[in-house]
């Protein structure tokens, strides 16, 4: 019989952190081994399960990232870019898997994750849901089948608290579309239009960002041709889908060789 997988949650009082505590406690084959928060957080010392609304699970919140990483087989991190990069470093030293859901990572943070992946399994995805992972695969495929006569625009909407734009998922969809067209997103990306913009540049991939209310996450990739339009959409109704994907990735990481993986690999959507 295989032991339950020990999963640590970083940022356990946050919106995604609480959702992850709930999911890990509910899934078979794993348990919450630790939970951390920033050292100034008022919830330190409180039970992670109670905070997440599922009752006491005997895991108090600490501000001890080393202890969290060393006591876990995998750590799930939905926090902020610098925090995630520092946990990647700790996971590299301990050989613990890191499931990194944080978005808005700079090139420097990305390089940190890549470096850590030489010694630890790192699963990184701006969107951990099954549906968006499929949308990414479909976007790449459709972009590869249509030529430049079809303009690609990506529209996203999120809740009013979101701090980065366009969303990591929208940028991921842009990367997928660019890959399908065999171009680099950085060469064709258009994230702002204001004032006298002139006509659309052929081949560009445009982004539009909407913010408001409590929208969990809507994404649409529009392929606009002459006289016809194709739209691929995903709408998230609950944050539970992201946490469920993260737990799935954590369970999948067991026994895998060190490396930087995407959710496509976790879900078997890539060769
Ligand atoms: P949030 O602000 O509710 O939660 C973040 C938590 O991290 C906070 O409780 C904060 O106190 C804590 N934190 C900050 N510094 C810390 C530290 N040093 N140690 C431990 N904890 C620390 O934010 P959120 O809505 O849960 O989103 C977090 C991140 O996850 C964002 O980047 C968001 O875009 C991303 N996200 C990704 C997905 C996905 O599927 N990949 C889905 C939803 C959100």
- Of 70, 12, 75, give the one whose Cα is nearest residue 44: 12
- Rounded alpha-carbon distances, angstroms, from residue 227 to 3, 144, 149, 152, 231: 58, 20, 11, 15, 14
pLDDT at 236: 95
pLDDT at 48 over 90: yes
Mutate to test the pocket of ligand 1, among 9, 12, 13, 16 (most ligand atoms within 8 A of CB): 16
Band the pLDDT of 144: cuts 50, 70, 90: very high
> Within 6 Å (CB) of ligand 1, which residues are found?
10-11, 13-17, 36-38, 41, 78-80, 83, 101-104, 125-128, 242
Paired sense of beta strands 189-190 and 205-211, if any: parallel
80 shares its domain with 168: no
pLDDT at 240: 94
Backbone Cα Rg of the chain: 19
pLDDT at 38 over 60: yes
| pLDDT tens digit sequence for 176-227 | 999 999 999 999 999 999 999 999 999 999 999 999 999 999 999 999 999 9
pLDDT at 147 over 80: yes
User: In this structure, what token pair is assigned to residue 1?
Assistant: 């019989």
Structural domain includes residue 228: yes
63 shares its domain with 142: no
Number of domain units in the chain: 2
Query: Is the CB of residue 9 less than 8 Å from the CB of residue 17?
Result: yes
pLDDT at 145: 97
pLDDT at 19 over 70: yes
84 shares its domain with 157: no
Mean pLDDT of the chain: 96
* Ligand 1 center from residue 146 Cα (angstroms): 37
pLDDT at 271: 56
Q: Which of 87, 158, 219, 234 is catalytic?
A: 158
3-state secondary structure (DSSP) of residue 147: coil
What proportion of the chain, given as a percentage, has pLDDT over 70? 99
HEC sequence for 165-232:
CCCHHHHHHHHHHHHHCCCCHHHHEECCCCCCCCCCCCCCEEEEEEECCCCCEEEEEEEEECCEEEEE
Q: For the domain that residue 254 is a member of, what is the CATH number? A: 3.40.50.720
Examine the residue annotation and report whether 158 is marked as an active-site residue of this protein: yes
Q: Which of 162, 189, 190, 264 is catalytic?
A: 162
Structural domain includes residue 271: no
pLDDT at 41: 97
Residues 6+ apart with CB under 8 A from 217: 127, 156, 157, 158, 167, 169, 234, 235, 236
118 shares its domain with 244: yes
Ligand 1 atom nearest residue 86's Cα: 18
* Ligand 1 center from residue 24 Cα (angstroms): 17
96 shares its domain with 162: no
Ligand 1 atom nearest residue 129's Cα: 40
* Ligand 1 center from residue 101 Cα (angstroms): 8
What proportion of the chain, given as a percentage, has pLDDT over 90? 94
């Amino acid at each position: 019989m295989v032991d339950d997988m020990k999963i640590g949650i970083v940022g356990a009082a946050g919106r995604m952190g609480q959702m992850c505590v709930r999911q890990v406690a509910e899934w078979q084959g794993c348990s919450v081994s630790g939970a951390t928060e920033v050292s100034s957080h008022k919830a330190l010392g409180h039970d992670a399960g109670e905070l997440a609304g599922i009752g006491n699970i005997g895991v108090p919140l600490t501000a001890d990232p080393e202890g969290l990483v060393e006591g876990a087989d995998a750590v799930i991190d939905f926090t902020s870019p610098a925090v995630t990069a520092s946990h990647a470093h700790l996971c590299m030293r301990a050989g613990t898997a890191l499931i990194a859901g944080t978005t808005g990572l700079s090139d420097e943070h990305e390089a940190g994750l890549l470096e850590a992946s030489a010694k630890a399994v790192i699963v990184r995805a701006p969107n951990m849901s099954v549906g968006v992972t499929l949308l990414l695969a479909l976007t790449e495929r459709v972009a590869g089948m249509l030529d430049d006569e079809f303009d690609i625009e990506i529209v996203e909407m999120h809740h009013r608290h979101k701090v980065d734009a366009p969303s990591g998922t929208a940028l991921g969809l842009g990367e997928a579309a660019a890959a399908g067209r065999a171009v680099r997103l950085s060469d064709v990306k258009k994230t702002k239009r204001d004032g006298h913009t002139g006509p659309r540049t052929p081949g560009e991939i445009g982004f539009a960002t909407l913010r408001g209310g409590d929208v969990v996450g809507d994404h649409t990739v529009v392929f606009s041709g002459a006289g016809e339009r194709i739209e691929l959409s995903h709408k998230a109704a609950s944050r539970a889908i992201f946490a469920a994907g993260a737990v799935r990735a954590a369970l999948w990481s067991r026994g895998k060789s060190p490396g930087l993986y995407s959710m496509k690999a976790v879900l078997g959507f890539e060769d």
